[in-house]
Amino acid sequence: MKQLLTEKPQALKMLDVDPPKIEWPHDVLVKMKAAGICGSDVHIYHGASPVATYPRVMGHEIVGVVAEIGKEARMVKVGDPVIVDQITACGECYPCKIGRPNICCNLKVRGVHIDGGYREYMTAPEDALHILPEKLAFTDAVMIEPMSIAFQACARAEITQNDRVFILGAGALGKSLIKAALLTGAEIIVSDVVDQRLEEAKELGVHHTINAKKENLAAKLKEYTLWGPTVSIDAAGFTGSLPLLADITCNAGRVITMAFLDEPSPVQQFKITAKELDIRGSRLQNNKFKEVIAAYKAGKIKIEGAVSHIYPFADAVAAFERIDSGDPTVKKIALAFE
Ligand code: MN
């Protein structure tokens, strides 16, 4: 089978290797159908990921069909269309014991710490698979994973319909967050520096948009919320974003971080204390694939339309080069397998 290996940063190679075999009775062999390229994959390729190890088969937005099942596998059957959960956890540590395997102390993420789905076949335990909704194309179904990340951030923020939610950044992550946050019934305000993205945010149904380059962000937020947003979610992740959110978020509010930014962000502790801010990280997702799939099936969220380009898996190297070219029409690439 074909497998895209990141030997080391900046070194992608399409190799011919033997397909993996089922090793455990509850394992399932999945024939890949589509895999998304995420910003974090681009970081791994560039050597800019603080967590990835090499050599690595990337790919954590991975969908396919069940090709073979282990002797004791009962949760799926051959032919089922599935998405593979990206998380593997130890089950023994404190976060695992309290039901938060997404931040397991021995966390191994498919495509990051262990091999993922940029290959024609992979194995996974049956409980890592979620059956895809009917009528959702494989290349669109890769977006269930990014959507699950947005659901997690909203869950961490404990958004209710009385909240006023500010989302910093209307790129790919920001848009998934908008879709997830709108489900709560809260008022949503989004800022970005690109008008086009703000237009797209409006089309999704946000209540207010702010171009932070042209308008005074703090003044506008005051106008729209009076006391400041009760929830702020950082979908931009630059050195100044956390201090900014600590500044503009309402007393008793929640600030959600999502970036893997390595440089320090200078936040005045005084602001956190004086406002009793909750600053909470949100990583990956905890049991959110089911919620995303249920919301899609109920017609509450749209998953289609986010993928801008589809490349055959055989041309995966060219797909990464296209992203590196900085082409602004590239919003999301899905790799399609035969
Ligand atoms: Mn992703």
Distance 274 CA to ligand 1 centre (A): 35
Residue 98 Cα to ligand 1 midpoint, Å, equals 25
Name the pLDDT band for 84 (thresholds 50, 70, 90): very high
SS3 per residue for 179-227 = HHHHCCCCEEEEEECCHHHHHHHHHHCCCEEEECCCCCHHHHHHHHHCC
Distance 284 CA to ligand 1 centre (A): 8
Asked if residue 106 has pLDDT above 90, the reply is: yes
pLDDT for 276: 98
pLDDT digits (tens, 9 = 90+) for 202-245: 999 999 999 999 999 999 999 999 999 999 999 999 999 999 99
Q: Ligand 1 centre from 148 Cα, in Å?
A: 9
Q: What is the pTM of this model?
A: 0.96
Average pLDDT on 4-16 reads: 97
Q: What is the percentage of the chain residues whose pLDDT exceeds 70?
A: 100
Domains and CATH numbers, the chain: 2-143+303-336 (3.90.180.10), 149-281 (3.40.50.720)
pLDDT tens digit sequence for 34-59? 999 999 999 999 999 999 999 999 99
| CA 120 – ligand 1 centroid, Å | 19
Strand partners, 71: none
Which pair of tokens denotes residue 246? 């600590």
Copy the structure tokens of residue 19.
């397909």
What is the CA(152)–ligand 1 centre distance, in A? 13
Res 328 pLDDT > 90? no
Tokens of 286: 């905890």
How far apart are the CA of 306 and the centre of ligand 1, in A?
13
> Residue 320's Cα: distance from chain center in Å?
18
CA of 94 to the centre of ligand 1 (A): 25
Whole-number Å distance between alpha carbons of 319 and 325: 10
Residue 269's contacts (CB-CB under 8 Å, 6 or more residues apart) are none
